[in-house]
Amino acid sequence: EDQVTQSPEALRLQEGESSSLNCSYTVSGLRGLFWYRQDPGKGPEFLFTLYSAGEEKEKERLKATLTKKESFLHITAPKPEDSATYLCAVHPRTRSGGYQKVTFGIGTKLQVIP
């Protein structure tokens, strides 16, 4: 069964204090790994899709990287507006032509303090 484990569950940073969020996954063949940001009471907002080990993508203060077993979301010099829950999800390769559902992690709740 596909699994996604995110750590830490919660992270509190001072404004400007860089850090990384981890997403470890187990899947028999990766089609894509996704990162989302979710604010309280709202739907997840898409950030990145990564397809193969070694791939990196950046958006403002965020940078996502991918290895064969995990992905990191690096946050450089975070601001209070970066406070949110960050979700990781994996989409496995199709097996026997059937649909393979996306598996989501529980998320990392990030709080950036001014």
Q: Which residues bind another protein (CB under 8 A)?
A: 4, 31-32, 34, 36, 41-46, 49, 87, 89, 91, 99, 101-107
Give me the phi and psi of 18, to 5 degrees please. Answer: -70, 150
CB closer to another protein, 13 vs 34: 34
CB closer to another protein, 33 vs 75: 33
Residue 39 beta carbon to another protein: minimum distance, rounded to whole angstroms: 10
CB closer to another protein, 46 vs 77: 46
C-alpha–C-alpha distance, residues 67 and 96, integer Å: 25
CB closer to another protein, 63 vs 109: 109
Residue with tokens 């199709």: 94
Residue 4 beta carbon to another protein: minimum distance, rounded to whole angstroms: 7
| DSSP category for residue 82 | G
Q: Which of 105, 101, 2 is nearest to 44 (CA)?
A: 105
Tokens of 67: 């290895």
C-alpha–C-alpha distance, residues 22 and 107, integer Å: 10
